[in-house]
Amino acid sequence: MKKKDKLAIIQQHYPKAQTTIDSVNHFIDFIEGQLDLEPSKVMLADSICSDDVNSIQYPARTQEFLGPFKMGGLDGFPFTGLTGMGAFASHVPDEGAVGIYYGPHIGITENGTIGEIHRHGQSKNSSCCGAAKGALNKLINNLIIEGNITDMDYQMNTIEQILLNKKKGFCQPLFRSKRQPK
C-alpha cells in the first residue's frame, strides 16, 4: 500500500494527520526559517509510548537535533517526571532552544479499525496503544481500584488512575489535581 493511501485512511479519522517524516521536516523548516536556529542547537525531548512500533517509525532526520531525551513511558505519559524535565532543561546548549515531541499514539488498520495495527510477522492485528486500550477496558468494566499504584506495574497503574480521575469528572492533569484544593 502506498504512503498516500495509508495516510488517507488515517485522515478519515484525523483530518490534519501527517506522516512523522513530514511533521519532522516541517518542524526543521520552522526551526531554521522562523527561529533562525540550527537543529544542532536544539535539544529535543520526546514523550511517546515505549511501544517498539514508535522506534520503527522514528524519522532519521531527528538526528540533526541534540538528543532525544526520552521522557515517555507507556502511552507517552512523561514518566521521567519533574526530575526528567529538570535534567532535560539543564542539557540545552547556550543560546539554544528546546523542542518537545509528545503525545499518545493510536493504531489504525487498513480497513479503518481504530486502536489496532498489524505488526510485522504476526497473523492477527494487535492493540495499539495496548496500554491505553487495556486501561480503558478496565475502566469500562469497573476494574480500576482507586489509588492502586504498584511498584511492579507503576506506569500502567498510573494510566489507569488518570482514566479513573477523568471518569469522575476531573479534567486536570494528575499531578496538579493532587496539589490543588478541590
For Zn ion, which residue of 44, 129, 135, 144 counts as binding (CB under 5 A)?
A: 129
Beta bridge partner(s), residue 116? 127
Asked if residue 46 binds Zn ion (CB under 5 A), the reply is no
Which 12-31 residues touch Zn ion, going by CB under 5 A?
none
Cell of 33: 526559517
Rg (CA), the chain: 18
Among residue numbers 140 through 179, which ones bind Zn ion (CB under 5 A)? none
Q: Binding Zn ion by CB under 5 A: which of 49, 144, 162, 164?
A: 49
Nearer to Zn ion, 31 or 71 (CB): 71
Unique residue bearing C-alpha cell 476494574: 143
Angle of helix 154-167 relative to helix 130-140, nearest 10 degrees, comes to 50
Please say which residue, 66 or 158, places its beta carbon nearer to Zn ion.
158
CA pair distance 27, 12, nearest whole angstrom = 24
Q: Please confirm whether the linkage preceding 171 is cis (ω < 30° from 0).
A: no
Contact segment (CB under 5 A) with Zn ion among 26-34, 112-120, 122-130, 143-151 equals: 122-130
Residues that bind Zn ion (CB under 5 A): 49, 51, 129
